Amino acid sequence: MKYGYFDQERREYVITRPDTPEPWANYLGSPEYGAIISNNAAGYSFIRSGADGRLIRYRFNELNTNLPGRYIYIRDDETGEYWTNSWQPAAKPLETFHSECRHGTAYTVISAEYAGIYSKAAYYVPLGKTHEVWDVRLRNNSGRPRKLSVFFYSEFTNLGSYEQDTVNLQYSTFISRSEYKDNVIVQHLNENTQNGDGTKGSHRFAALAGADACAHCGDREAFFGPYRNYGNPLTVENGGAGGADCYNGNAVGALQTKVTLGAGEESAMAYMLGEGNFDAASAVAAAYVSGRAERELAELKSYWHEKLDRFTVNTPDENLNASVNTWNAYQCFITFIWSRAASFIYCGLRNGYGYRDTIQDIQGIMHLAPEMAVERLRFMLSAQVSSGGGLPLVKFTHNAGHEDTPDDASYRETTGHPHYRSDDALWLFPTVDKYVRETGDTAFYDEVIPFAEKGEATVYGHLKRAIEFSFAHMTEHGLPAGLEADWNDCLRMGEKGESSFLSFQLYYALELFGAIAAFKGDAGSEAWAFGLKGKLAEAIESYFFEGDRYIRAVTEDGLRIGSRGAEEANIWLNPQSWAVLTGYASGEKAKAILDTVYQRLNTAYGVKLFDPPFRKFGMPVARMILFNPGTKENAGVFSQTQGWLIQAEAKAGRGGRAFEYYNKANPAAMNGRAEIRRLEPYAHGQFIESDDSPYAGRGHVHWLTGTASTVMIGLVEGILGVHPAYEGIAVEPCIPADWTGFTIRKLFRGRWLDIEVINESGTEKGVKRVVLNGSALAPGLIPFDRLSEGVNEIKVYM
């Protein structure tokens, strides 16, 4: 079933059927003022922190018909009939109610046509601002004069903290009151408490501009009346917002205006929400003049589209194009900017950045905005402990050089992380490497950055410490120890357990570090790294290899996880993909282990994490047994891992297979089967239920997931084959043999590359020749100094 389509031209996803299986979300603003909105206008906003800065309320895990949101009720004052601009919550019959939602880059436009009235609300946060705007237009298409009322509704939280607002009612419902003056409702919180800066309390506002409020209501219960819900507020039904103010209870920003429209006539107005008292509200509202919303929306579009334009493709697969050019790219920015802070699933209680997640998120925007990526990379390097490990959770208040660490009880208590995770700092290697290769900024290696708790080192020094950290925690078999966990939070091999995934990561780290050392002319470190790499490779081979697969781990007690004869979990995905993508396994061996994956783990909806799921074997090693089989880490299709598999198949030269896997992972490819996948067809989720679940194909945990970045890298580096290097760039695609070609437009260190790949031999991989601006080059690297400052025409013949 299909609920919408991709408008590639406008970079929008257009929802034409509003009864989507789940609320399909979009992100507005930035964490300075963040807003999440569904295609039915449900959602919430926060200021600075999803955990502590909630402005308007949302109830998690609620029925989709009972969600607070940004509602606009329209009432025909002659007949008394009313509806909402978004289909929900009034939910008029879809035979007569026409709805469209356009989710775009940091804006959402919802429109309706009902009873001869066209209405449209553009929701957005102006660029760089800390308030939100609902820009509303009405048009009378009925051919006769109409008298309407429009009610704007939003529901303030009583406390910025989601948890406190929800559960600490004996306190939170007695600290708030609302006040109305000149088109503005202000909610005062703790208004008699003195702040450090001499002000008192805190204040939020809802303001109307471009129209006059004829009535208001600041109290939730008064707005709805007894035993009503979002779909049928009594004040709307009666046609008058009533004038109640909130004093204790729950404050809302309901404002009513009356509109008389002749046949064909239009009217415009805006509703705004933000932090501050009447003055702040008036200043924001006063700035609203005709044309302003169009300007602000145009600004937003050009801000985002300029970034997305830096890497665009045109391949034979429209779904891939939609992802690379807009949605996967935009999702990479969202995960980069928002981390795991706020969605309809993440309640915002994690007040910091997960180390491994964030370092991986950075990779997803490298080809689009390396200047943004490096800022966050510096920040994350400054959250590396001087012993080389990463802080499992980097607080939003991180103060480099002064932090406590997992070695301190205080850190363990405040973050809940008992120990270092073995993989965190190892993610730095591919991320630093990608940054320097994208930008050519090799001076970055020499930049001095503090450690989390004390001391400082160059970036090169930070990387070396990360390796030393792993080697300070080696087991007697010469393998890095499991510590709290590796990438898989649920697999607890024990402090002294061993993980093949982790070992491949360390192998890769040594490979990348050795290459950097060679570049820097540091022969001692180069020999050190490559020497360790050789020994590690031997240990990996003798300890983890079992003929057609690498096992996943060996627990502290010597139990082999992922071993062929085991009753459960006897074949795992990540060790095979990582063996290949790191270059550890190549040639026939690479193909053989990837074939094991194809035979054992491939399902109709992607490749599962392992097989069979855990049903008997249990805690404490396999914590995933807590999940139903086929779900999340218990043999679900864990979406992030699909990106690594795509990379691995591409590395092995099998473009058809790489694309087959990509196509299963691509949300857009499920657009016509949305009733199965349920999640937004324009966003990756954390996982898909595998064939071990009765609901195979159902997706979960939308938007904030490492999937965005790993799948993007699988595409850009793996399938499309774009490989920047210090001295230039290579284009070495790995595609389905029946693709006759494709084009890429890329901004590379300030120069434009117009790349056309021509697959004249119908091959999956292998470049025969390259032509740059009319001159033939050998296949391989296109030297940067051969690129001209204008647009470069590059033809790549396969």
Question: What does the binding site for ligand GLC look like in residue numbers (CB under 6 A)?
Answer: 354, 356-357, 487-490, 633, 686, 706
Q: Is 489 a catalytic residue?
A: yes
Q: How far is the CB of 624 from ligand GLC (least distance, A)?
A: 8
Closer Cβ to ligand GLC, 133 or 428, answer by number: 428
For residue 86, what are its two tokens? Answer: 């978004």
Closest-CA residue to 269 (of 187, 110, 112, 152): 152
- In 529-627, DSSP assigns E strands to 553-554, 560-561, 571-572, 602-603, 606-607, 610-611
Nearest-approach distance from CB 490 to ligand GLC, in angstroms: 6
Q: How far is the CB of 421 from ligand GLC (least distance, A)?
A: 9
CA distance 292 to 311: 30
Our CB check for ligand GLC shows the closer of 130 and 360 to be 360
Q: Which residues contact 191 (CB under 8 A, 6 or more apart)?
A: 177, 200, 201, 203
Nearer to ligand GLC, 6 or 501 (CB): 501
Beta strand extents in 503-570 (DSSP E only) = 553-554, 560-561
Please state the φ and ψ torsions of residue 735, each to the nearest 5 degrees: -130, 165
Q: Which string of b and e fits 110-146 if b means at least 16 CB within 10 Å?
A: bbbbbbebbbbbbbbbbeebbbbbbbbbbbbbeeeeb
Question: Using N-to-C axis directions, what is the helix angle for 573-581 and 587-601, rounded to 10°?
Answer: 150
Cα-Cα-Cα-Cα dihedral sign, residues 473, 475, 476, 479: negative
- Amino acid at the residue 453: E
What is the amino acid identity at position 446? D
Please tell me the total number of residues recorded for the chain in this structure: 798
Q: Which two tokens stand for residue 783?
A: 């030297």
If the CB atoms of residues 631 and 686 are measured against ligand GLC, the closer one turns out to be: 686
Whole-number minimum distance, CB 640 to ligand GLC, in Å?
6
Helix 587-601, helix 640-651: angle, nearest 10: 140
CB of 665 to ligand GLC, least distance (A): 15
CB of 383 to ligand GLC, least distance (A): 15
Q: Between 489 and 793, whose beta carbon lies closer to ligand GLC?
A: 489
Task: List Cβ neighbours of 302 (8 Å cut-off, separation of 6 or more).
Answer: none
**How far, in Å, CA of 605 to CA of 612, rounded?**
16
Residue 178 or 360: which CB sits closer to ligand GLC?
360
Buried b (16+ CB within 10 A) or exposed e, 36-51: bbbbbbbbbbbbbbbb
Judged by beta carbon, residue 511 or residue 633, the one nearer ligand GLC is 633
Tally of CB atoms within 10 A around 352: 21
Least distance between ligand GLC and beta carbon 638 (Å): 7
Residue placing its CB nearer to ligand GLC in the complex, 457 or 506: 506
Query: What is the smallest separation between the CB atom of 336 and ligand GLC, expressed in angstroms?
Result: 14
Distance between CA 312 and CA 259 in Å, rounded? Answer: 45
Q: Between 278 and 396, name the residue whose CB sits nearer to ligand GLC.
A: 396
Which is nearer to ligand GLC, 624 or 744 (by Cβ)?
Answer: 624
The residue to which tokens 């920047």 are assigned = 724
Closest separation in Å from C-beta 642 to ligand GLC? 13
How many Cα atoms occupy the beta-carbon half-sphere of 706 within 13 Å? 18
- Phi then psi for residue 83, to 5 deg, are -150, 180
Q: Catalytic residue among 7, 77, 489, 522, which?
A: 489
Using alpha carbons only, what angle is made at residue 273 by residues 268 and 276, rounded to the nearest 5 degrees?
Answer: 130
**Minimal distance, residue 345 CB to ligand GLC, in Å:** 12
Q: Which residue is nearest to ligand GLC (CB)?
A: 489
Four-point Cα dihedral 405, 410, 416, 418, nearest 10: 60
Residue 580 backbone phi and psi in degrees, to 5: -85, -45
Q: Which is nearer to ligand GLC, 708 or 734 (CB)?
A: 708
**Cβ closer to ligand GLC: 12 or 633?**
633
CB 390 to ligand GLC: min, Å: 12
In this structure, are residues 35 and 27 in contact, taking their beta carbons and an 8 Å threshold? yes
Q: How far apart are CA 176 and CA 392, in angstroms?
A: 37
| Shortest Å, Cβ 685 to ligand GLC | 11
Residues 621 and 610: their CA atoms lie apart, in Å, by 15
- Give the integer Cα–Cα distance in Å for 156 and 532: 58
CA 263 to CA 143: how far, in whole Å? 5
Q: Beta strand pairing status for 131-140 and 146-153?
A: unpaired
CA angle 669/675/677 to nearest 5° reads 50
**C-alpha distance across the termini of the chain, in Å:** 38
Q: Is 213 helix (H, G, I), strand (E, B) or coil?
A: strand
Write out the two tokens for 270.
């805006």
Smallest distance from the beta carbon of 509 to ligand GLC, in angstroms?
A: 17
- CA angle at residue 29 from 27 to 33, to 5 degrees? 115
Q: Coil, helix or strand for 331? A: helix
Nearer to ligand GLC, 704 or 781 (CB): 704
Catalytic residues, by residue number, are 489
